[in-house]
Amino acid sequence: MRTTVGIIGAGPAGLLLARLLHNAGIDSVVLESRDRAYVEQRQRAGILEQGTVDVLRAAGAGERMDREGLRHDGIELRFARRRHRVDFPALTGGSSVMVYAQTEVCKDLIALQLKEGGPLLFEAEALAVEDATTDRPKVRFRHEGREEVLECDYVVGCDGFWGVSRKAVPAELSRVFERTYPFGWLGILADVAPSHDELVYARHERGFALLSMRSPAVSRLYLQVPDGTDAEEWADEQIWDELERRFETADGWTLARGPITSKSVTPMRSYVHEPMRHGRLFLAGDAAHIVPPTGAKGLNLAVGDVVTFARALTHERETGSSERLDAYSETCLRRVWQAERFSYEMTTLLHRAPDATPFDDRIQLARLERLTTSRAAETDLADGYTGFPLE
């Protein structure tokens, strides 16, 4: 089997890249180790930056998102029982975000790929990327019980942190930067209408809490918990009681409760692998970087990576110049590190460390006071949250 671009992974990054290449007249093959049902059901991020929304619309994948997604023009910060709304359009010149689950993005892109795009092979497990430094890289994969080879001009690894793509970069060329946080998020889905029409980020002396949503009828909520927590250790009523404590305000706001349909714990870490390119192998998304979910950046960073690659390859096809492909890693990493910074700052702003001192607590509160009284500080948060420019 031969193609121009071999794409490993059918998450939103790999599927969007296939769509962008199709629209540019460049052929590709997508290999996904899981079956279609799994890809369309795995719960991940649900906040799309303005740039991601614009890209999906331009790619022809925004119709259902615009019909069913929830546009949000701000977030609410809570601390010391007080509430403060950050108005995104007023601070950014019109930018907003969209609540639209990754599962729905994948469903839309899969439908488009199967209808109009190139081959999308489910249950096709990538085994290795070989000959990455030649002009004929290839991907060995297993599909329908047989081992096969996909020959390409380029390989893009969108196969996540545990995939094979990053392993093809020699250890002596790799640099890794990471931080593991001593807490995680206990997340729940609940069949109850959200108690607020925008996301609420709460800093509390007992720990962070986040009120989010999946739809007008389904709430998504999170609690900061110690690292290594088992979700089943928390009874449903205990979760609601703790959420109520952390979201408490002085104006009598109440939290609506409902049946919890799922609960799980997400670990918190920051991770960057440099470089993001090795020969004709290009890493994208979680294969190259991970951010703590506080800043809602993971899916959006992956979108930025594949947009950068698609534009660079299109430029090479139109001009004969490989300058933009050669600059792929450097270009992506500028945006990645800004997102890492923003996510780190949001995490340390709102979470209480296990060893926090009274001084640390006062510094946190001072940072929040600054955000709520300085338009410059508030604008910086709004710019970061709605998304850094796609280069």
Active site residue 259: no
* Strand bridging mode 199-202 / 218-226: unpaired
Active site residue 315: no
Pick the catalytic residue: 100, 181, 201, 328? 201
Pick the catalytic residue: 12, 137, 194, 293? 293
- Residue pair 271/174 in contact (Cβ under 8 Å)? The answer is no
Pick the catalytic residue: 22, 72, 138, 351? 72
Cis-peptide into 275, omega within 30 deg: yes
**Which residues are bridge partners to 29 per DSSP?**
6
Active site residue 115: no
Buried b (16+ CB within 10 A) or exposed e, 228-237: ebebeebeee
- Residue pair 72/99 in contact (Cβ under 8 Å)? The answer is yes
| Own/partner pairs, 133-141, CB within 8 angstroms, 24+ separation | 133/278, 133/279, 133/280, 134/279, 134/280, 135/280, 137/6, 137/279, 137/280, 137/281, 138/6, 139/6, 139/8, 139/31, 141/31
Pick the catalytic residue: 138, 204, 289, 297? 297
Active site residue 385: yes
Active site residue 263: no
Q: Which residues are known to be catalytic?
A: 72, 201, 293, 297, 385
